[in-house]
């Protein structure tokens, strides 16, 4: 405890703790000296990931001086940051630690996400203090990092240095069109939409581009002559724009003649979409969880620091009797991602090993009592059933059997290629509570699907965001009742099999093919759908990382006939939109 207390005392008083270069320092010229400025407030939701990314940067820690400040916290930010600095501080050249004990709010702020003038002023003063410190230490660079910016690319710092720019930022990805730069600014200092923003954000054009403003995470080259004229506080004497730290700095760059750039050649990391001034820290946490899930899909994932203590999340079944996750044993990457995603969402799931259609031979299929519906042909390619589709059907069928045998009243079934919408657990809970309140019977509720026909579907009275389902593809995720599972089993579908996402619309009498429907009676399954949907596919046919074990397979009774998605178009992105990466509620870059 003596060493710990001594280090804490040094950190608390802002004394530098110099350390020799780490064992990983390569021979050769001495690396440039960098001050890394980290300002944290109410950041316990993102801080472990932010710190984890910083400690993984491929740059000698012994050449980095940490300058950290925190104040006005109502969460565990101070303790987390202190714990991390105690653990890693000796690896860095020096550490400056500024902690303000005191109130959790500014006197003029309306809530923890409201930016008042006093809050802006304090932030500008702190950024200026970090800049002055870097100049006093004769650092070559200062890297500002916000705690909602996660640099998953460990080459980011080296890359930014190599650009030889006065002020340069890595373009950060988010859950929406939001990022950490502006492409245009009005003469009054307001945001100006330009034709360059979306091609840059979407990487349709790649490079390092001159822009009027960057923020959140950026590097200043202190060796440049114009960098000596940069300031955060006080604002420039001629400044008349909004009292906002990022706009004040943009104006300072303009007056100093320091060109500002943003680079998007690589994926550098992520930035959380900020919540509105009236929202809460919990809203911000939910947003960040969603960003974490998106990073798991799009990669690379955001990893927490191993030096910060984070208690395990309590897992629940969201009021359901069971949560099933279907996964092929030979797809461990999908299993790991889905289980990690569900843990972030605080959902307890039971993995069900999927039936691997590729391993089934004709004898296996016969023993299982499987036979194809005689008239079935894929509506796009004209092919018959694939072995992958047989395995998929049998996997869902086994869950329906378990639901009935265990007497489970309400269950959720996930496949392993799901991308969750923001606030998924809360939105599903609310939907189910409202449905119960109406005493509406139900057998199955699509949580994710592809609506085949464009016509509107009837809303369910008394339940927000629920419609009567029309003809639909996909079985990504659905809630199912005990009675619903009984109805599906009673139809005896194994002896007249077709893809499971064609079977379900038959059972609720919305399938357009009358020949298929005459094999199944009664067709009285009560099926609804969340609207908007709560999950989407992680990828679509044609995407670089798309993979389907149902489409890319062989014909069910002939291994010599290979199939691919180019025949069946079910897995293409819906051209009407609404499917996945960018939400309809977030079509603005601000």
User: How many Å from the N-terminal Cα to the C-terminal Cα in the chain?
Assistant: 47
CA 27, 32, 33, 36 torsion: positive or negative?
A: negative
For 114-122, what is the mean pLDDT?
A: 96
Assign 65 to helix, strand or coil: strand
Closest by alpha carbon to 580, among 545, 553, 551?
545
CA 340, 342, 348, 351 torsion: positive or negative?
A: negative
Q: How far is the C-alpha of 20 from the C-alpha of 325, rounded, in Å?
A: 50
Task: Mark residue 521 as left, alpha or beta (left: phi above 0; alpha: psi -120 to 50; beta: remaining).
Answer: beta
Residue 179 · residue 589 · CB < 8 Å: yes
pLDDT at 37 over 90: yes
Which tens digits make up the pLDDT trace of 411-448?
999 999 999 999 999 999 999 999 999 999 999 999 99
Which tens digits make up the pLDDT trace of 206-245?
999 999 999 999 999 999 999 999 999 999 999 999 999 9
pLDDT band at 1 (very low <50, low <70, confident <90, very high): very low
Q: How far is the C-alpha of 477 from the C-alpha of 535, rounded, in Å?
A: 7
Strongest mean pLDDT among 366-380, 549-563, 565-579: 366-380
Q: Using only the alpha carbons of the chain, give its radius of gyration.
A: 28
CA 266, 268, 269, 275 torsion: positive or negative?
A: negative
Which residue matches tokens 């059997």? 401
* Better-scored residue on pLDDT, 1 or 281: 281
Q: How far is the C-alpha of 193 from the C-alpha of 159, rounded, in Å?
A: 28
Cβ neighbours around 21 below 10 Å, total: 15
Reading the block at residue 336, the tokens are 């790991």
């Amino acid at each position: 405890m003596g060493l710990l207390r001594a280090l804490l005392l040094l950190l608390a008083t802002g004394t530098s703790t110099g350390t020799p270069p780490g064992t990983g320092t390569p021979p050769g010229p001495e690396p440039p000296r960098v001050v890394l400025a980290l300002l944290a407030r109410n950041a316990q939701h993102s801080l472990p990931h932010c710190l984890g990314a910083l400690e993984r940067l491929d740059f000698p820690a012994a050449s980095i001086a940490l300058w950290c400040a925190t104040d006005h916290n109502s969460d565990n930010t101070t303790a987390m940051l202190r714990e991390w600095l105690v653990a890693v501080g000796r690896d860095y050249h020096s550490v400056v630690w500024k902690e303000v004990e005191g109130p959790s709010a500014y006197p003029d702020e309306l809530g923890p996400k409201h930016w008042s003038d006093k809050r802006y002023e304090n932030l500008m003063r702190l950024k200026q203090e970090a800049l002055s410190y870097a100049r006093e230490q004769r650092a070559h660079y200062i890297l500002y990092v916000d705690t909602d910016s996660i640099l998953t690319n460990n080459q980011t710092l080296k890359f930014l240095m190599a650009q030889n720019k006065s002020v340069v930022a890595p373009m950060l990805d988010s859950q929406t069109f939001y990022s950490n730069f502006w492409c245009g600014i009005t003469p009054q200092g307001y945001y100006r939409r330009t034709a360059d923003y979306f091609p840059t954000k979407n990487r349709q054009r790649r490079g390092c581009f001159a822009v009027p403003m960057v923020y959140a995470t950026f590097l200043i080259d202190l060796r440049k002559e114009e960098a000596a004229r940069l300031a955060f506080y006080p604002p420039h004497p001629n400044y008349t724009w909004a009292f906002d730290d990022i706009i004040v700095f943009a104006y300072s760059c303009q007056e100093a003649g320091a060109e500002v750039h943003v680079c998007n050649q690589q994926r550098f990391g992520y930035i959380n979409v900020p919540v509105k001034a009236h929202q809460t820290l919990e809203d911000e946490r939910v947003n960040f969880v969603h960003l974490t899930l998106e990073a798991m899909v799009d990669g690379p994932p955001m990893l927490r620091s191993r030096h910060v203590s984070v208690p395990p999340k309590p897992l629940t079944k969201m009021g359901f009797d069971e949560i099933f996750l279907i996964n092929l044993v030979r797809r461990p990457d999908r299993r790991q991602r889905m289980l990690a995603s569900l843990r972030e969402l605080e959902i307890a799931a039971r993995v069900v090993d999927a039936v691997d259609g590729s391993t089934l031979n004709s004898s296996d299929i016969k023993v299982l009592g499987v036979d194809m519906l005689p008239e079935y042909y894929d509506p796009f390619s004209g092919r018959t059933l694939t072995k992958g589709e047989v395995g998929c059907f049998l996997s869902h069928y086994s869950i329906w059997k378990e639901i009935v045998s265990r007497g489970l009243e309400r269950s959720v079934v996930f496949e392993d290629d799901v991308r969750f919408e923001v606030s998924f657990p809360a939105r599903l809970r609310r939907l189910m509570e409202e449905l119960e309140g109406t005493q509406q019977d139900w057998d199955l509720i699509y949580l994710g699907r592809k609506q085949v026909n464009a016509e509107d579907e009837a809303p369910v009275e008394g339940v927000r965001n629920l419609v009567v389902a029309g003809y639909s593809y996909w079985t990504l995720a659905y809630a199912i009742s005990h009675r619903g599972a009984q109805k599906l089993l009673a139809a005896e579908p194994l002896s007249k099999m077709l893809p499971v996402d064609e079977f379900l619309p038959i059972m609720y009498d919305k399938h357009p093919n009358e020949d298929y429907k005459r094999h199944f009676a009664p067709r009285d399954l009560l099926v609804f759908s969340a609207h908007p949907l709560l999950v989407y596919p992680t990828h679509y046919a044609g995407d670089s990382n798309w993979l389907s074990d149902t489409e890319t397979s062989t014909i069910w009774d002939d291994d010599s006939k290979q199939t691919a998605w180019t025949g069946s178009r079910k897995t293409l992105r819906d051209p009407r939109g609404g499917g996945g990466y960018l939400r309809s509620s977030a079509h603005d870059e601000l």
